[in-house]
Amino acid sequence: MARMTGAQAMVESLLREGVDIVFGLPGGACLPFFDKLYDAKLKTVLVRHEQGAVHMAEGYARSTGKVGVAIATSGPGATNCVTGIADAYMDSIPIVVITGQVKSFMIGNDAFQEADTTGITRPITKHNYLVKDAQQIPRIVKEAFYLARTGRPGPVLIDFPVDISLAEMDFYWPEQVSLRSYNPVVKGSSSQIRKAAKLIAGSKKPVLYTGGGVIIARAAKEVKALAEKLQAPVTNTLMGLGGMDASSPLFIDMLGMHGAVYANRAVDECDLLISIGARFDDRVTGNLEKFSPNSKKIHIDIDPGSISKSIPVDIPIVGDVKEVLQELIQLVHPLETREWLAQIAQWRKESPFRYKDDGLSIKPQYVIQQIWEATKGDALITTDVGQHQMWAAQYYRFNEPNAMMTSGGLGTMGYGFPAAIGAQMGRPDKEVWCISGDGSIQMNIQEYTTAVIQKLPVKVAILNNGFYGMVRQWQHFFYKDRFSSSTMDCNPDFVKLSEAYGGVGIRVTRKEDVRPSIIKAQSIKDRPVFLDFVCPKDENVMPMIPSGGSMEQIMDMA
């Protein structure tokens, strides 16, 4: 056993966990830790705001399938992490956040840069720790990573007082985690799976509704196999995009508030809804009483808490969706769904995703289509939150899991750019695009520096409509065009801003320049590029089911 300080033990434990990159920003309470990171065999990416570090860890985690790590100091460093942690909690992203803390004997004394970090983050972490004894560091780190990535994944926080980081301990590495109170159910109940197969057998109008759980469980192949065997259509949630190859004829696009008319109608009229790794979020269901009213429901999820939380289901199956699907596929037989698929195809023909192209102005939907074509659908896409996010979900055709990284649950503006940085760090081989808006990009734009220093060729498409566009859209439909605090009257010059940061900025004002500018951005390999697409101000995301509404209230392009 090697004698070392707590800070050294923390670094050593991260290395034992296979961490090769951390995102962070130092401060008084984590100086001993950063001192040990200085010559550690892992890369430390200095960010410009701690929220950026957490979103980078998220982007890294989603693009690599590993646990992302963010590090911040005590007090404001820790509170700056809060939004990112809440984001990871809502979207079940496996990250470990390590925060400095004041000296353990000062805790509770309102010391300089003290905040009750474990108290603040308790409801937004899967679990958190306050390290009180340096000897416990390896066990805590081992547990933290295990908790973050197993079961329903999520963020775990380790609060690390500065005196503990200086205290000496004897290093050991626990090969096993032993937690008597934590046993996530992985294998689904076979009798439930048999019941599900029986229920499926009678269906004439089935729909598979799949979410982020499919991506986390790496079960895209199984979803496709089940869909093809049953000849059942598949709709994805926002978090589930990429979980079903968008080029498959069985894929009927996203459902929910801004989902496809045909996906929502299919869910509305189906006789069997199989929910896989999704949680009946209110943006999917709208009015609970009118959501898929005539269907039998099967719900497969690793989190028992997600089952029957909002929508009661006939057959719940708790377990890892990949394992459950593998078992279920063996037990089901092809269904006679030709009429049903033809019906959905008809609805699709009547009401596809569409927009009015005047041939002159740069429609945001057109930009996304062009990015999709130019990247051959092979890029990693992150988005911010708002109209551009919905258009990205509608118009980029995702054909692999984790190609779409977006803030689904919390809806965090400012997620996209740092997440793209994290994704590019994790996957240098991939082209990474952040689709953003002029509102969202200004939250966490400080990470431009981080991207420049790391020489990351992240491409940011700003769909610039001079508004907080989704707010404008709601004010247009529901608040009589009273655009209270939603106009962006004085946006910065994103081209000059890019140059000031050391990146490349391109403003695009004409439709015919859209594709060439995308191609130009693709040719830049050593620094970030901002593409400022000047779009019309009044474009709305269609279709739309108003909040709490149902299919009866769906609005679509005239």
Partner 1 sequence: MAYVKDTKIYRRLFSVIVENEPGVLARVSGLFSARGFNIVSLAVGETQDPTISRITIVVDGTASVLEQVNKQLNKLIPVISVLPIIDQDMLAIELTLAKFRPGPRVRAVVEDAKRKGDDIEIVHEGPSGVIVRIIAAVEKEPAIFKELGELELIEICRTGKVALSKTRTFGIFDKSQREVEVEEAN
Residues in touch with partner 1 (CB under 8 A): 118-119, 122-123, 126-127, 130, 147, 179-182, 185, 188-189, 192, 288-289, 291, 293-294, 296-297, 303-305, 307-309, 311-314, 316-318
Q: What CA–CA distance (Å, rounded) separates 556 from 558?
A: 6
Residue from 398, 473, 410 nearest 435 by CA: 398
CB of 219 to partner 1, least distance (A): 19
CB-wise, 209 or 355, nearer to partner 1? Answer: 209
Whole-number Å distance between alpha carbons of 191 and 167: 53
Contact 134, 172 (CB under 8 A): no
* C-beta separation of 422 from 432 below 8 A: no
Closest CB 153 distance from partner 1, rounded Å: 13
Q: How far is the CB of 189 from partner 1 (least distance, A)?
A: 5
Q: 175 or 289, CB closer to partner 1?
A: 289
Cβ neighbours for 44, distance < 8 A, ≥ 6 positions apart: 21, 22, 24, 34, 37, 38, 71
Residue with smaller CB distance to partner 1, 251 or 291: 291
**Given the complex with partner 1, which of 148 and 497 has the nearer CB atom?**
148
**What is the sign of the dihedral through the CA atoms of 44, 50, 52 and 53?**
positive
CB neighbour list of residue 157: distance below 8 Å, 6 or more residues apart = 85, 96, 97, 98, 99, 117, 118, 121, 125, 128, 129
Q: How far is the CB of 160 from partner 1 (least distance, A)?
A: 16
Show the tokens assigned to 28. 């008084």
Q: Do you find a cis peptide bond into 94, omega within 30 degrees of 0?
A: no
Q: How far is the CB of 217 from partner 1 (least distance, A)?
A: 17
Rank residues 157 and 461 by Cβ distance to partner 1 and give the closer one: 157
CB of 302 to partner 1, least distance (A): 11
Which residues is 296 bridged to in the sheet? 272
Q: Do 96 and 139 touch, CB atoms closer than 8 A?
A: no
3-state class of 509 per DSSP? coil
Count of CB atoms situated within 10 Å of the CB of 243: 33
In this complex, which beta carbon is closest to partner 1, that of residue 493 or of residue 552?
552
Label residue 473 exposed, middle or buried (CB < 10 Å: 0-12, 13-18, 19+). Answer: buried
Distance CA 318, CA 85 (A): 25
**Rounded to the nearest 10 degrees, what angle do helices 387-395 and 469-478 cross at?**
100
Least Å from the CB of residue 502 to partner 1: 43
Q: How near is the Cβ of 477 to partner 1 at its closest, in Å? A: 26
Phi-psi bin for 253: left (phi > 0), alpha (psi -120 to 50), beta? left
Q: Which is nearer to partner 1, 275 or 442 (CB)?
A: 275
Closer Cβ to partner 1, 86 or 529, answer by number: 86
Supply the minimum distance, in Å, between the C-beta of residue 92 and partner 1: 12
Decide whether 125 or 235 has the Cβ nearer to partner 1.
Answer: 125
For the CB of residue 382, give the shortest distance to partner 1 in the complex, in Å: 28
- Kindly tell me which of 109 and 487 has the beta carbon lying closer to partner 1: 109
End-to-end Cα spacing for the chain = 72
Residue with Cβ nearer partner 1 (16 or 309) = 309
- Least CB distance from residue 269 to partner 1, whole Å? 14
In degrees and rounded to multiples of 5, residue 324 shows phi and psi of -65, -45
